[in-house]
């Protein structure tokens, strides 16, 4: 058992053991240690074996975690409502790019909602690195969408390189990007690595950080009220500016919307959060043991929204807004979406379930405050999608 989580079955254990061996061989080949980000990348995305690349069930009640689009179509309807004015401003040639489509739940509800409000994009392109999830998305959307909507959907092998106009949306994708871990020792920045102990188990190790990671940590530290104390450990996405630049590709006009869990920088790197935000999820339980069962558990780190704001602006976009998920959904007509949906539900149990979904999406103790939305615009007005609960003073 890992922190009270039942052991995986024999097949799953064998699968995890194969990935453990692959990572172990890479550690040995690299001279005895690999940077933590590389371990996270392999655990999640090693071809055919990683958590997102292989076929383990991840989403919804029977999976490991439940994302907002899985909890309620109201989430996707609100996002569609917020992005529809941008799609209308762009006209017939607008493209909708979704990063990391998960089970396809978001795309299904979003496309139906855009169709109902006459804001359909010419094309709905999903950039999904996991071959397994791509297949699941294809079969779900083929079954769930009318043929004329399904025809608009395609899957990308990489960002749209040619010039395009449209919107780009990502829910809970940045938290799944492989994060570097650092620790400060005697005033120097070290990188957390993964090594093997005498029995071949993964253990933490450290090495002096390379110039890039050290500079990134120092840049963060310079913006904090106090320097990091000795032994302070946390995460950082060194590649975030390059990643944002890459995923927008040739976007010439349009909007970006990211929803994820995280904090503004000053809260992310609080002195008391001295072991970072890294955690793993399996069967709806959280564990700090990110080494347990590689390939069978999700590994995530919270998003530094200040870093995201810098990356978006650095990629040439204008900052459009930053607020909690609750504020974003309320500002995007959650009450109206609820009022529209309720009369279509015949039984009391169904109506209660719908209200429960609203609570899960918006209550501070659920997803309402931990999850936040950040938008960017280029040649369009998207700041109107952030009418309430502005948090940009925290950045």
Contact residues for ligand SAM, defined by CB under 6 A:
52, 59, 67, 69-70, 99-102, 106, 127-130, 133, 171-173, 176-177
Task: Rank residues 101 and 389 by Cβ distance to ligand SAM and give the closer one.
Answer: 101
Q: What are the b/e assignments for 26-44, b being 16+ CB within 10 Å? A: ebeeeeebbbbbbbbbbbb
Choose between 178 and 331: whose C-beta lies nearer to ligand SAM: 178
For residue 12, what are the contacts with CB-CB under 8 A and spacing of at least 6? Answer: 56, 293, 296
**98 or 310: CB nearest ligand SAM:** 98
In angstroms, the CA 85 to CA 118 distance is 10
- Of 83 and 195, nearer to ligand SAM (C-beta) is 83
* Burial class of 313 by CB neighbour count within 10 A (0 to 12, 13 to 18, 19+): middle
In the complex, the smallest distance separating the C-beta of residue 312 from ligand SAM, rounded to whole angstroms, is: 16
Q: How far is the CB of 286 from ligand SAM (least distance, A)?
A: 14
Alpha helices for the chain (secondary structure H): 10-29, 36-45, 68-71, 73-90, 105-116, 131-144, 147-150, 211-222, 240-248, 265-268, 305-314, 325-331, 334-341, 348-362
Q: What is the rounded CA–CA span in Å between residue 240 and residue 302? A: 13
To ligand SAM, the closest distance from the beta carbon of 183 in angstroms equals 25
Which residue, 89 or 243, has its beta carbon nearer to ligand SAM?
A: 243
- 32 and 195 in contact (C-beta within 8 Å)? yes
First to last CA, the chain: 40
Please give the helix or strand (H or E) that residue 193 lies within, else none: strand 188-196
CB of 126 to ligand SAM, least distance (A): 9
CB of 308 to ligand SAM, least distance (A): 14
Rounded to the nearest angstrom, the gap between the alpha carbon of residue 392 and the centroid of all alpha carbons in its chain is 20
Tally Cβ neighbours within 10 Å of residue 191: 21
Supply the minimum distance, in Å, between the C-beta of residue 128 and ligand SAM.
6
Two structure tokens written together for 197: 């102990």
Q: Say whether 184 sits in a helix, a strand or coil.
A: strand
- Which residue's CB is nearer to ligand SAM, number 150 or number 243? 243
Helices in 105-210 by DSSP H: which ranges? 105-116, 131-144, 147-150
Closest CA to 133 of 176, 185, 197: 176
- Is residue 191 within 8 Å of 209, Cβ to Cβ? yes
Nearer to ligand SAM, 184 or 326 (CB): 326
Of 73 and 101, CB closest to ligand SAM: 101
Q: Which is nearer to ligand SAM, 52 or 386 (CB)?
A: 52
Minimum distance, C-beta of residue 70 to ligand SAM, in the bound complex (Å): 6
Nearest to 51 by CA among 63, 36, 67: 63
> Which residue, judged by CB position, is nearest to ligand SAM in the bound state?
100
Which is nearer to ligand SAM, 56 or 127 (by Cβ)? 127
Nearest partner of 54 among 117, 129, 120, 105, judged by Cα: 129
CB of 114 to ligand SAM, least distance (A): 17
Q: Cβ of residue 344: shortest distance to ligand SAM, in angstroms?
A: 24
> In whole angstroms, how close is the CB of 212 to ligand SAM at the nearest point?
19
């Amino acid at each position: 058992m890992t922190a009270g989580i039942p052991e995986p079955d024999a097949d799953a254990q064998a699968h995890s053991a194969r990935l453990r061996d692959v990572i172990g061989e890479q550690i040995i080949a690299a001279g005895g240690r690999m940077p933590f980000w590389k371990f996270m990348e392999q655990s999640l995305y090693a071809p055919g074996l990683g958590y997102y690349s292989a076929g383990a069930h991840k989403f919804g009640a029977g999976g490991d975690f439940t994302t907002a689009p899985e909890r309620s179509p109201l989430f996707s309807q609100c996002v569609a409502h917020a992005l529809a004015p941008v799609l209308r401003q762009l006209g017939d040639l607008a493209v909708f790019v979704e990063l990391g489509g998960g089970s396809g739940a978001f795309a299904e509800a979003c496309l139906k909602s855009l169709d109902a409000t006459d804001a359909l994009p010419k094309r709905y392109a999903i950039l999904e690195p996991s071959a397994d999830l791509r297949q699941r998305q294809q079969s779900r959307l083929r079954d769930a969408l009318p043929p004329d909507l399904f025809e608009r959907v395609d899957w990308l092998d990489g960002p749209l390189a040619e010039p395009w106009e449209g919107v780009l949306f990502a829910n809970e994708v940045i938290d799944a990007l492989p994060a570097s871990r650092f620790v400060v020792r005697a005033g120097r920045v070290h990188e957390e690595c993964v090594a093997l102990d005498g029995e071949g188990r993964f253990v933490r190790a450290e090495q002096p950080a390379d110039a890039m990671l050290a500079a990134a940590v120092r840049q963060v530290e310079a913006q904090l009220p106090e320097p990091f104390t000795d032994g302070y450990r946390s995460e950082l996405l060194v590649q975030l500016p390059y990643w944002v630049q890459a995923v927008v590709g040739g976007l010439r006009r349009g909007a970006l919307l990211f929803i994820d869990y995280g904090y503004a920088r000053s809260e992310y790197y609080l002195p008391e959060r001295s072991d970072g935000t890294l955690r793993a999820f399996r069967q709806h339980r959280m564990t700090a043991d990110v080494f347990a069962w590689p390939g069978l558990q999700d590994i995530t780190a919270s998003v530094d929204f200040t870093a995201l704001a810098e990356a978006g602006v650095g990629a040439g976009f204008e900052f459009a807004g930053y607020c909690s998920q609750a504020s974003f959904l309320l500002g995007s007509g959650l009450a109206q979406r609820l009022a529209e949906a309720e009369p279509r539900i015949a039984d009391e149990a169904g109506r209660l379930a719908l209200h429960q979904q609203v609570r899960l999406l918006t209550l501070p103790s659920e997803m309402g405050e931990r999850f936040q939305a950040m938008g960017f615009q280029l040649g369009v007005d998207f700041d109107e999608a952030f009418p309430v609960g502005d948090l940009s003073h925290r950045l």
